[in-house]
């Protein structure tokens, strides 16, 4: 009950500050910054090739415990 009363008191103080105009933010200005990105002459293309992973005996590389499978 005390905690809820404290929160209501804080909320009342915040509403009082807003309604009286004392909680106004300070004036801010934004500067415009124009940056140009360098244009790449030639974009390189990445070539992806498949390489089969090695099979090592004794490792758990497969999913054998599927809890969603109905046996």
Residue 48, both tokens: 């992806």
Could you tell me the pLDDT band of residue 10, with boundaries at 50, 70 and 90? Answer: very high
pLDDT tens-digit profile of 24-71? 666 767 777 766 656 565 566 788 899 887 777 766 656 666 677 666
Run of H or E including 54: none
Residue 47 has a pLDDT of 84
Residue 48 has a pLDDT of 86
d(C-alpha 32, C-alpha 44), whole Å:
33
Helix H, strand E, coil C: the string for 32-56 is CCCCCCCCCCCCCCCCCCCCCCCCC
Of residues 24 and 17, more confidence is placed in: 17
C-alpha angle 20/26/29, rounded to 5°? 145
């Amino acid at each position: 009950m005390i905690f809820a009363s404290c929160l209501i008191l804080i909320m009342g103080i915040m509403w009082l500050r807003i309604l009286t105009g004392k909680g106004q933010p300070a004036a801010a200005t934004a500067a415009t910054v124009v940056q140009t990105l360098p244009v790449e002459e030639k974009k390189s293309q990445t070539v992806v090739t498949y390489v089969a992973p090695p099979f090592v005996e004794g490792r758990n590389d497969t999913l054998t415990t599927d809890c969603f499978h109905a046996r």
